[in-house]
Amino acid sequence: MSILNQPVNTLSGRATTLADIPAKVMLVVNVASKCGLTPQYTGLEQLHENYANRGFSVVGFPCNQFGAQEPGSPEEIATFCSTTYGVTFPLMEKIEVNGDGRHAIYDELTAVADAEGTSGDIRWNFEKFVIADGGSTIIRFSPMVAPDDANLVATIEKLLDA
C-alpha cells in the first residue's frame, strides 16, 4: 500500500489518508508543543502559506515520544497551534513514530535515509520528510534543519516544478 493511502485520523478524529490532502508535494513533520524546536511551527506555517497555491502542504503529526513534549489532548494541541503559531496546515492525530506502536506511515518514512545517511528511528521532534510523485519520492531532513533552510526550500521548489 502506498504511504499516501495508509489510514490515519485528523486531529479532530476524522478518518483520512495523506492522499486526501490536495497537494502534489507535502512536508510531513512530527511535531510537539513543548520542545526547544517548537518555534519551527512559524517557519512551517510560512512554507505552507508560501507554496500552498502551487500544490504544497505541510502535514503535522503530533507525537509525545520525545521527552513527553506533546502531552496535550487533541483540543489543546489544536488551540495551541492555532493561537500561538497561526497554524493552518493539516494536523493529524497524535501518533507514535518509533517502537512497536509506530504508525504505518512512519514505518515507510523511517526506511528512508537523510543526506548524512541516517535512517531508522526518528531522532527527535520536527524530523521532516518531503513526499512527492504519489509517494514514490521521499526525502528526509534532520530535526535541526529549519523550515527556511535553503536545501529544504530548494527541494520543495524543484518537486513543485517537476
Closest CA to 67 of 151, 142, 126: 126
Helical H runs in the chain?
Answer: 40-51, 74-85, 104-109, 150-161
CA dihedral over 85, 89, 93, 99, signed as positive or negative:
negative
The catalytic position among 8, 11, 29, 35 is 35
Q: Compute the CA torsion angle 77, 79, 81, 86 (nearest 10 deg).
A: 170
Q: 92 vs 17, 59, 77, 78, 157, CA distance in Å? A: 10, 7, 10, 10, 24
Nearest to 143 by CA among 19, 17, 27, 23: 27
Q: Is 81 one of the catalytic residues? A: no
- Contact in structure between 95 and 103 (CB atoms under 8 Å): yes
Residue numbers annotated as active site: 35
